[in-house]
Structure 1
Amino acid sequence: MLGAPMPSRGNLVLDCVRVIKLRVESGEWQQLLPGERRLATVLQVGRDTIRLALQELEREGLLGSAEAGSRRRIRSVATNHAASRTLRIGLLAHRRLEQLPQPLLLEIDRIRSTLADKGGSLELIAPPWYEQKNPANRLATLLDEEPCSAWILLRSSAAVQEWFMQRRIPCLIRGYPHPGISLPHLDVDWRATARHAAGQLWRLGHRRAAILVPADPLKGVEAAVQGVKDLDEDGFEATTQVEDGSPSGVARVLSRALQVKNPPTAIIATRARQAATALTWLASKGIQVPGHISLITLASEPFLDHLVPEISGYRTDPDAVAKLVTRRLERIVGGDPSPGGSPWISPEVVKGASLARLKPKP
């Protein structure tokens, strides 16, 4: 869990001391400090670092002495009213920090840094119940325990979005809103991006493509599939290949797709991992990219830069996205439930070397 504020990666002990002081001064922690395990989780550092920070705070007189099995008592401290008004943002996610894609990690780090520069903070919370059908009671408890100025909802379900909307809790959906949800949102325009990818294939002579999609029913993936189908060109066909999230699952659907009478001449990956698996699996079967089949990904990640050939696709700038997110959060916290600007991000085209003009059959 990313704390609010968060320690930097420099001198972690001293920065943890600073962060704990700020959160105590803001009134977030009163009378008793959270336990070592909780602090380590919140601040995303090891327990050894937490112990050293607590020892320093005890020497400074902020905390009482440690007692076996008991939480540290906070001694009398002046409340910093300015700190209590800082921009504290909660980020609800479906996975822990270390399990998120690299571009998203960079984006989160930029948001945290930007908020810190403004005297604010970011807290990442990945509860195991986040994707349950009925998270209402747990959400209510969480928001009581973790008061924030506003929330970022990452890969949020319809139930989560509806709960925030009905209670008018300041938030920004970092993704697609579900039908009937009128909350501010920000995401890549997957529909337009996918249509552009299909258009590239069409201009290169491809008429049959396979779209690799994860089994999770994500609104952004649905939009991407619709974007490919939006290409209204005679003779263009696209089949959707649902994989289970594993390399063997991607290999299995590709094998099946290529065994039909008129196999696809191009593959559209909706995830960077799919593109990497497709490239290596095709190579293992003696199928050259782009000599025998073209490959494009709608979501590029830095690790793809190390593959040969470089995979063509689309990427977003984490810095630019972080600025958009922060700017809209500030307006939302300021009382504007509908911050201006387009909710869609247009990614940058990665030229790559995995697309080729389809060679006519002899």
Structure 2
Amino acid sequence: MMPESSPLFRKTSLPDQAASALRAAIRDGFLRGELPGEIQLSRQFGISRPTLRAALARLQQEGMIVTRKGRGSRVMTTPIHRSPAQNRPGVCIISPLSRTAPLLAEHPVLLELQAQLVSHGISYEEIFDARLAGPRPFAALRSLAHARPHVCWVLLASTSSMQAWYSEGGLPALVLGSCHPETRLPSIDRDYRATGWHAAGELIRHGHSQVGLVLPASPLAGDLAFRNGFKAYMANRSVSVSELVADDNPAVFRSRIDRFFRSHRRPTALLILRPAYSLALVIQLLRMGFRIPEDASIISRDTHPLIDTAFPDLTRYSSPTSVLATRTIRLAESLLGGKALPPTPIFITPHFIPGSTLGTV
């Protein structure tokens, strides 16, 4: 039984808070020796398994536990003290988002990547800094690179300015996501253009001619690729497509949804580009008295642990996060080994999950 005073998961990132809770449980003697399996431990702490794996990866990196393939994890009686050289990061994950941004909340690929880096014996560092989101982050990037001369940079949710700087700078770097058109860096992402094309086809097949596309306020390269694929399919069809720009402020977003659906040409289907917006839309539409999918169909471009267990079962696309993380690490290892990689994108095709929120008109 876990102590009643286990830390609440509220302020910093969930993996950081989960790691703090695990440290406290180990320190207080509630966890010792062989750790329970993932399912049991995640239930005890009330967190998802991806979050637990990322938290355990942090503890292994600190030397508090040791994880052996096929044999689970064990608490170290005497923590392993690593030399400064061992603690030096081999991979630096850098993003222009703040650590509390909705996109990063239990980001499935990021959590899997953290766990796999540790299991591969690769130390890592994370830099989440919203100041890098501006049009000229170059001085800050130079300073960061100067302080970390021997790392592979993994760009997450990166801007065109960031990608351009790494592309021109000759540093070992790759994009976890899609590249902007002018960028020449190796990259790996879901095939969002193909996903947009497929989603448009599903909507046409179900008879929808009034469609809403819900976009983030600052679309990433993958978001733009998705929109391009979607619009390319719709180009020669009699379909009205309207766009709704989401907002991270819940009250503002709810107000925009309300106006969107009170218009005389309200959409019969919504295609939503972020999991958090998908959940918010479902809740708001139900509050407004709309039936899903009878009055409004919903397709979520991505999934999330919360969506995977949600009711109704959302029509959505899903990708194997372990494959994305594994191939990212292979690229990073090649770059760390001095190998020059071609700036050719690697695309993983998402899997369509029909769910129950796409109806026929």
TM-score for the superposition, normalised by structure 1 = 0.72
Q: Which residue number corresponds to residue 125 of structure 2?
A: 123
Q: 1:199 to 1:146 in 2, by over 3 A?
A: same
SS in 1 for 2:212: strand
Partner residue of 2:280 out of 271, 277, 281 = 277
Partner residue of 2:226 out of 206, 224, 227 = 224
Check the 8 A contact 1:91/1:123 in 2, yes or no.
yes
- 1:165-196 deviations in whole A, cap 9, x for unaligned? 12200111112222321111112222211221
Check the 8 A contact 1:272/1:301 in 2, yes or no.
yes
Partner residue of 1:288 out of 291, 294, 315 = 291
Q: Which residue number corresponds to residue 39 of structure 1?
A: none
TM-score for the superposition, normalised by structure 2 = 0.72
The answer on 1:236 being equivalent to 2:239 is: yes
Query: C-alpha distance in 2, partners of 1:14/1:90?
Result: 28
Identity of aligned residues (%): 24
Check the 8 A contact 1:228/1:238 in 2, yes or no.
no
Q: Quote the offset at 1:14 in angstroms.
A: 9.9
Q: Which residue number corresponds to residue 324 of structure 1?
A: 327
- Aligned pairs for 1:111-190 within 5 A: 111-190=113-192
Q: Tell me the amino acid that sits aligned with residue 143 of structure 2.
A: T
Query: C-alpha distance in 2, partners of 1:111/1:244?
Result: 28
Q: Which residue number corresponds to residue 304 of structure 2?
A: 301
- 1:222-244 deviations in whole A, cap 9, x for unaligned? 22222221124521221111122
Query: C-alpha distance in 2, partners of 1:319/1:208?
Result: 36
Q: Quote the offset at 1:356 in angstroms.
A: 1.0
- 1:309-331 deviations in whole A, cap 9, x for unaligned? 11111122221110110111122
Which moved further from structure 2: 111-120 or 183-192? 111-120
- Aligned pairs for 1:307-318 within 5 A: 307-318=310-321
Q: 1:13 to 1:278 in 2, by over 3 A?
A: closer
Q: 1:267 to 1:11 in 2, by over 3 A?
A: closer
Q: 1:116 to 1:234 in 2, by over 3 A?
A: closer
Check the 8 A contact 2:96/2:159 in 1, yes or no.
no
5+ residue gaps, structure 2, are 1-11, 14-18, 28-56, 64-77
Partner residue of 1:259 out of 262, 274, 288 = 262
Check the 8 A contact 1:97/1:105 in 2, yes or no.
no
Query: C-alpha distance in 2, partners of 1:157/1:315?
Result: 24
Q: 1:90 to 1:197 in 2, by over 3 A?
A: same
Check the 8 A contact 2:173/2:185 in 1, yes or no.
yes
Number of aligned residue pairs: give it: 298
Which moved further from structure 2: 195-204 or 212-221? 212-221
Q: Which residue number corresponds to residue 192 of structure 1?
A: 194
5+ residue gaps, structure 1, are 16-42, 51-58, 63-76
CA-based RMSD of the aligned residues comes to 3.5
The answer on 1:350 being equivalent to 2:358 is: no
- 1:324-361 deviations in whole A, cap 9, x for unaligned? 10111122223333259752221121221101111xxx
- 1:14-43 deviations in whole A, cap 9, x for unaligned? 99xxxxxxxxxxxxxxxxxxxxxxxxxxx9
Query: C-alpha distance in 1, partners of 2:84/2:239?
Result: 65
Query: C-alpha distance in 2, partners of 1:264/1:105?
Result: 29
Q: 1:121 to 1:105 in 2, by over 3 A?
A: farther
Q: Quote the offset at 1:97 in angstroms.
A: 4.6
Q: 1:196 to 1:103 in 2, by over 3 A?
A: farther
SS in 1 for 2:292: coil
Q: Tell me the amino acid that sits aligned with residue 164 of structure 1.
A: Y
Query: C-alpha distance in 1, partners of 2:313/2:84?
Result: 55
Q: Quote the offset at 1:100 in angstroms.
A: 5.8
Q: Tell me the amino acid that sits aligned with residue 145 of structure 1.
A: A
